[in-house]
Amino acid sequence: MRNLTLMLVLFVGMTQALAQAPSIEIDLTATEVTSQGQTGTCWSFSTTSFLESEVARLTGELHDLSEMAAVRVIYPEKVERFVRYQGKHQFGPGGLCHDVIHAADVYGLVPQAVYAGGQEPGSYNHSELDAVLESMVQAMVKQSGSISPASIAAVSGTLDAYLGALPTEFNYQGKNYTPQSFRKAMKINQANYVSLTSFTHHPFGSRFILEVPDNHAHGLFLNVPIEELEATVNEALDHGMTVAWDADVSNKGFSFRKGWAIMPETAKTADDWKTLDSMPVEPSVTQATRQEDFDEQSTTDDHLMHIVGRARDTQGRPYFIMKNSWGDGNEYGGRQFVSMEYFRHHTIAIMLHRDGLSKGARNMIVKKLTK
């Protein structure tokens, strides 16, 4: 009887787990989930993952690209910008998708096997580096009026000590490359990538500097209605293109451990509904409700991930599949299923190849450029 009871418990548990798992509709090519460790570099991990999928789409080959190369390129720019603004500017480990695209443009790309960033992948820890850089930039600001060029040089030396010097040429799979020639071989062109957002404090169809702290580079975003943003992601996936995603995750509806992100008003976690068969209907999200939460700053720029597919639950409701950079320690190996209502409410911005734009978003860009 004890064995029968145990078997029944195991069967029920397995049944719930199977019922919990959604039906995969689209699952596009991507590298394995990796961890950003104890760093604030999700912007590089998510966008580098996005570029890896782009390389696979454009060349037919999947390559593991270095996340830390972009970090090494961007950090000196952050330092210089902070000092030029006399300390009255954002400084820290954060960033956005366009930082990685910019790094690929000005420096290039390198494989992970060529540049690992000074530590073992999966165990990165930038706590000490971040603290050292913070003290250095604050010291430079205090020297305003007599800042020495040696101070900037010291920043590069510090970054080399922690992350390693960036290679100027390398051999990979039997061929010699520079970072620029490797980027070209991977068919990545900065001009092909666009950033979109959806807020009403700027006109739709306009491009504006998104007012979030990690937009330290003052990147421009095309503003489209939320319906157009959602349609753009769906159409991109339908055409075999993945999307980089910037979102708010500091809310009760987001659970990395469970592998889900849903609107929390009706169900705080998967424990509240056990299986997809009993998941409650989420509240509808409007342009006004997402704007209200952005304005009151309950929706903030927290984390970047990579949209690699779409799935449906047992009731036919769609979810975007996100590749996270917090390691593989959840029920879905580091991936998460994000409901459409969660996406509509908590999205800050997206980045994708311009060929993946929906017709509506593409028309907005054409109108903007022809004005």
Domains of the chain from N-terminus onward: 30-370 (3.90.70.10)
Work out the number of other CB atoms within 10 angstroms of the CB of residue 283. 13
For residue 116, what are its two tokens?
A: 């690992």
Phi first, then psi: give them for residue 77, nearest 5 degrees.
-65, -40
Q: Which residues, in sequence order, are bridge partners of residue 254? A: 261
| Predicted TM-score of the model (pTM) | 0.91
pLDDT for residue 267: 57
- Whether 212 contacts 295, CB under 8 Å: no
Tell me which amino acid residue 310 is. Answer: R
The residue type at 291: Q
SS3 117: coil
Q: What span, in angstroms and rounded, lies between the C-alpha atoms of 114 and 123?
A: 17
Measured in degrees and rounded to the nearest 5, phi and psi for residue 176 equal -95, 135
Residue 302 phi/psi, 5° resolution? -110, -45
Cα 57 from Cα 361, distance rounded (Å): 22
- In single-letter form, the type of residue at position 120 comes to E
pLDDT at 13: 43
**In this structure, which amino acid lies at residue 108?**
G
The CA distance from 352 to 195, in Å, is 7
pLDDT along the chain (371 residues), means of 10: 40 43 93 96 98 98 98 96 93 96 98 96 94 95 86 93 98 98 98 97 97 96 96 97 97 88 69 68 92 96 97 91 96 94 97 91 70 52
Q: With residue 133 as reference, give the H or E element that holds it.
A: helix 127-142
Identity of the amino acid at 23 = S
